[in-house]
Structure 1
């Protein structure tokens, strides 16, 4: 399961770290946020290095739909209600400016990345009133937005908000070009961070400033981001022989679909759920059924999934990591909007490190927490974490090794000990410890992706125990095959 970006493009490998070194800034994570942050810091004269436990763009960047848009669901009227008009303006400006910054970089660096300016649509099949309100709110904040009932979609909508002057591109082509002049060490896993020292599996890095751009911060304290976020998964199909769409589309309803075209390829997405809560599977099959209904002549040739960090209030955490760590910075919680949020992060963090004023930074401050607005969401996150921990103790697995069908996995119990088990189509059995190495929650089987996923904080592992997604930093040690 690889995305169309991975299928048709490969970024030149970089060497791993080969010993200790020192630098002005160390950026953890070589995805879009990390690479852009390092680029702008380098432009400001800071000696900057990037380290990644795997490859450049091998995390969430490779799974994006690559929409560069300030249209983040129906967020603007909610921001005005929750934060006030001034902070809503900060959010709107930051994301509109991010689109312009992408365009500027593409032109300045002559990047061939299939960059196209498009309109973005948020549509609904239900009550259109919230979208009418969203169009008004966005316009009042300076965005070129309008309410419409006209779309190219193969089904009737009750209404849509259209944002003009948005964009899309090929993310790995863009990432490769921006990364070409940067110092990057791949296959270099950061294991610990102590003040100004990064301890990796390849050597130690001393840095005046440290930027956590690793999708999900793996340091639990300070910051306590694991209490303030969860992770969601989404699924995508790529197909040909479907109608070419001019705009980019996303449903207001969680059960709806995301659509956009790359050349003659339709990207059709949906099926979102909280990571670790897909034990029944069926996400890809549901998408295929809908695709056949809307575009009966289409031919699927690729499918993949992506993961997003979701904050308590829907706004990313960008800026200083915590009060007690003045030299640490973080970029996380991008929701479904990783491309614009990556650029916003790069702009804010590079300027803050350089001592420049960033008037639109307060709305993204990681240190924000209001008891009245966030308490209910915090309780919900805590409930899921407790559920994930206690199911290891109290929940009896429903399957036994003998009952598992070929090609299926699950949690089984033998002599009061739980195991994560996958049985291949050939009858080979893989066994792992189902305890997440992050904070000890019980992993759950995801049949759509043949993985074991953590319902607490979103770490994911292959059925052989290899780490797929953080905040866990290590593979599962206790594993065997028979």
Structure 2
């Protein structure tokens, strides 16, 4: 189930760390967010290093649909209602700045970057469209209303952001990693202050940035309560139409569309990890109905960290920690959120003021409706008297018959049938064969 990005890219390899070492900044996690942090620190002339437990971009980055956009669902109406206009404006400004940064970098990198308009549509609620447009106009952004799309179904309406972008994320990474201080197959097993313990040496740093998708430290930050993981699926079709843009349903369980070369990417089938959902069958049924002459070339699944309020957590790991930072909870919008993370965290570790720090602060209030749902899920699965159990926090695992894996409905760790770790926040395999 390789993604189209992996099939059409060739990432370089990096050495394993086999010694004790010191550095100013340690980055843990070699996905797009971590690599962009490393790139910016390299440009700033700072002594840093990045360690990745497997290969760089071997986790979620290789399985994205790779849309670069500041339009993250119908988020701006919600941000104004819950945080006020200034926070909504800053959130938009941060993501627009991220988009512009990609424009600059991609001029130097052959990564199939191309501008495309982005559309968030609603199948049945015109009022949602109108509220989102009104919110955007309040914060001074020029978006457009659209009544129909080149997709095989009717809509109630859509909001259009012009001149957004898409690319091949692994080609992009291949183009910026040369010369960066990166170590692969170097898993951090423990943090003792700002010293990271690996299998073959200790890394002593002044400051540490954690970009491991779901943070692996439980004793700080309460991320096990502040997030859950959400699974979604992608089919890539040949002999399907060019839809001339990027499209996402405002509903969390809706569908997304974009083209790459002569292929059409369709995303959907979503569900909370460890629960049942439409998965690949939902997408296959859709393709058979609407694109009967198309052929499936690639398929893959991905996983996203969902926050309590729809805004990523970027900044200090917790209010009680010093010199420890995090980027997580990208809510399906990992491309721009990764760039925002790199810009913001680079400023923070260099002691610079950043206007977006408060917007993304991981220490903002957790009293949101999703908190109760996350807590209930955790309690129910902790009390479920079945095996196997997730080594992360002891929740009962559920068998995923579609992907032949053991999945944790509490926090999203996943394991092979034999018990080998697939996805974090667990940091190790199941304790015994399942």
Same fold (TM over 0.5): yes
1:142 is displaced (CA, Å) by: 3.6
Partner of 1:158: 156
TM-score, length-scaled by structure 1: 0.88
In 2, Cα distance between equivalents of 1:10 and 1:455? 34
RMSD: 1.2
TM-score, length-scaled by structure 2: 0.98
Check whether the contact 1:136–1:146 (CA below 8 A) recurs between aligned residues: no
1:345 is displaced (CA, Å) by: 0.3
1:416-464 deviation per Cα after TM superposition (whole angstroms, max 9, x unaligned): xx55xxxxxxxxxxxxxx1111011111011111110001100001111
1:79 aligns with 2:75: no
**1:455 aligns with one of 409, 412, 415:** 409
Partner of 1:291: 287
Q: Which runs of 5+ in 2 are unaligned?
A: none
Check whether the contact 1:229–1:333 (CA below 8 A) recurs between aligned residues: yes
* 3-state SS of paired residue (2:70): coil
Check whether the contact 1:155–1:294 (CA below 8 A) recurs between aligned residues: no
**2:297 aligns with one of 294, 297, 301:** 301
User: Are the structure 2 counterparts of residues 439 and 370 from structure 1 closer, same or farther at C-alpha, using a change threshold of 3 Å?
Assistant: closer
Partner of 1:382: 375
1:355 aligns with 2:351: yes
In 1, Cα distance between equivalents of 2:154 and 2:235? 22
**1:466 aligns with one of 394, 408, 420:** 420
Check whether the contact 2:421–2:430 (CA below 8 A) recurs between aligned residues: yes
1:373-392 deviation per Cα after TM superposition (whole angstroms, max 9, x unaligned): x2x3211111000111111x
Runs of 4+ in 1 over 4 A off after TM superposition: none
1:149 is displaced (CA, Å) by: 0.7
1:180-237 deviation per Cα after TM superposition (whole angstroms, max 9, x unaligned): 1211111111111121100112211000010000001000011111111000000010
Counterparts of 1:66-465 in structure 2, within 5 Å, are 66-107=66-107, 110-278=108-276, 283-369=279-365, 371=367, 374=368, 376-391=369-384, 393=385, 419=387, 434-465=388-419
User: Are the structure 2 counterparts of residues 222 and 200 from structure 1 closer, same or farther at C-alpha, using a change threshold of 3 Å?
Assistant: same
Partner of 1:426: none
Partner of 2:13: 13
1:138 is displaced (CA, Å) by: 1.9
* 3-state SS of paired residue (2:364): coil
In 2, Cα distance between equivalents of 1:155 and 1:274? 26
In 2, Cα distance between equivalents of 1:50 and 1:143? 37
Check whether the contact 2:226–2:366 (CA below 8 A) recurs between aligned residues: no
1:139 is displaced (CA, Å) by: 3.1
1:302 is displaced (CA, Å) by: 1.1
1:282 is displaced (CA, Å) by: 5.2
Partner of 2:27: 27
Check whether the contact 1:446–1:453 (CA below 8 A) recurs between aligned residues: yes
Q: Which runs of 5+ in 1 are unaligned?
A: 394-417, 420-433
* 3-state SS of paired residue (1:322): coil
Check whether the contact 2:271–2:278 (CA below 8 A) recurs between aligned residues: no
Check whether the contact 1:125–1:159 (CA below 8 A) recurs between aligned residues: yes
